């Protein structure tokens, strides 16, 4: 993620924010929601070195791709067992999978590049140069491109998934006019990108590769998490200042709802329901009923569980975090304890 770079990806918010947001969550969420439709069903104690950021789920093969700063772990989604570890990154952030090309793509913010690997052997095939602070990444089927947003550079860079890694280059960068964080695509030729420093969503025509609109996220600000319900044309935007889950129409930018969430949100996901994962240890579940949106549950998770991936076939969520010790001298945020990295699994009640 671009905001705060590595430290924001690893460390949880300050104790004061945690206490305040927890109290808010308790006061704004009905007690009946404590026994709602989602629960922490498993915790995989993975261990290993490195921080963490966006987690990507391969629903077909039941795999989790987990960036760990300098390497990317591949885990079995059902057991948490490590089946591969992809080396060679400096400060990684996210993974996009393109099965049709047999390749995966890992963004590396410090190296200003994308690491390309083989989806069968997990061997590193090469790198593609991008721009400073390569961060969020997705595959857009409408354009047939891997889309990489680069926070410090303020651009989106398209990459052909079958690019010749010896001689090829990424496509021309799309100037966004702000600092991008994460993005979603509708599969029909539009991509939606949070501009965290502008409190806006940039709309990109992914066939022409140009910005065609910008929509304000007010009353939410500092937008970071982004996901989409493509069927109903809804965007779900996780905002930090103030703490809101913004529901936005994907055709006109109209804000349809603003829902209170916890502190330190990093990711949103959609699969039947909408989810916002927050570093204060809350996972907000929101639902649309008869055109109205409301928070239906707040799941308590370990602190630091601020990003997530989701399996759309089972509606199971996977949240990376670790155990935390007290802050070191001169620091305000607690530090993760070595070897305590874990994946928290949140499942529907039937699971």
- Provide the whole-model pTM: 0.90
Query: Three-state SS for 17?
Result: helix
pLDDT, position 202: 98
* pLDDT exceeds 70 at position 309: yes
Report whether 125 contacts 165 (CB < 8 A).
yes
pLDDT, position 93: 98
If you average pLDDT over residues 7-35, what whole number do you get?
38
- pLDDT band per the 50, 70, 90 thresholds, residue 2: very low
If you average pLDDT over residues 23-50, what whole number do you get?
68
* pLDDT exceeds 50 at position 22: no
Instruction: Kindly report the backbone phi and psi dihedral angles of residue 275, in degrees, each rounded to the nearest multiple of 5, phi listed first.
Output: -130, 145
pLDDT, position 36: 62
Q: What is the largest CA-CA distance in the chain?
A: 59
* pLDDT exceeds 50 at position 30: no
* pLDDT exceeds 90 at position 4: no
More confident residue, 325 or 99: 99
pLDDT, position 98: 98
Peptide bond just before 219 cis, omega within 30 deg? yes
- pLDDT band per the 50, 70, 90 thresholds, residue 351: low
């Amino acid at each position: 993620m671009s905001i705060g770079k590595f430290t924001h990806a690893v460390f949880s918010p300050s104790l004061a924010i945690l206490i305040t947001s927890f109290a808010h969550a308790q006061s704004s969420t009905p007690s009946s929601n404590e026994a709602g439709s989602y629960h922490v069903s498993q915790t995989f104690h993975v261990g290993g070195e490195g921080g963490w950021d966006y987690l990507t789920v391969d629903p077909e093969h039941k795999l989790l791709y987990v960036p760990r700063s300098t390497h990317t772990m591949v885990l079995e989604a059902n057991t948490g067992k490590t089946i591969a570890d992809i080396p060679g990154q400096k400060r990684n952030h996210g993974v996009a999978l393109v099965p049709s090309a047999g390749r995966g793509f890992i963004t590396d913010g410090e190296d200003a590049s994308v690491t390309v690997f083989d989806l069968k052997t997990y061997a590193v095939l090469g790198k593609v140069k991008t721009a400073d602070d390569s961060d969020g990444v997705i595959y857009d089927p409408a354009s047939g491109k891997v889309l990489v947003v680069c926070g410090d550079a303020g651009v989106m860079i398209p990459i052909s998934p079958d690019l010749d890694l010896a001689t090829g280059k990424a496509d021309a960068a799309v100037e966004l006019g702000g600092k991008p964080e994460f993005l979603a695509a509708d599969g029909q030729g539009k991509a939606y990108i949070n501009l965290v420093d502008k409190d806006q969503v940039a709309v990109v025509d992914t066939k022409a590769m140009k910005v065609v609109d910008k929509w304000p996220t007010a009353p939410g600000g500092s937008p970071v998490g982004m996901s989409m319900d493509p069927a109903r044309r809804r965007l779900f935007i996780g905002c930090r200042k103030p703490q809101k889950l913004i529901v936005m129409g994907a055709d006109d930018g109209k804000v349809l709802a603003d829902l209170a969430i916890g502190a330190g949100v990093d990711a949103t996901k959609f699969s039947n329901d909408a989810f916002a994962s927050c570093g204060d240890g809350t996972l907000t579940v929101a639902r649309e009923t008869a055109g109205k949106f409301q928070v239906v549950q707040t799941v308590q998770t370990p602190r630091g569980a601020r990003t997530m991936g989701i399996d759309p076939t089972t509606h199971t969520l996977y949240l990376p975090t670790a155990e935390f010790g007290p802050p070191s001298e001169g620091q305000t945020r607690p530090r993760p304890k070595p070897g305590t990295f874990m994946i928290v699994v949140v499942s529907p009640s039937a699971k």
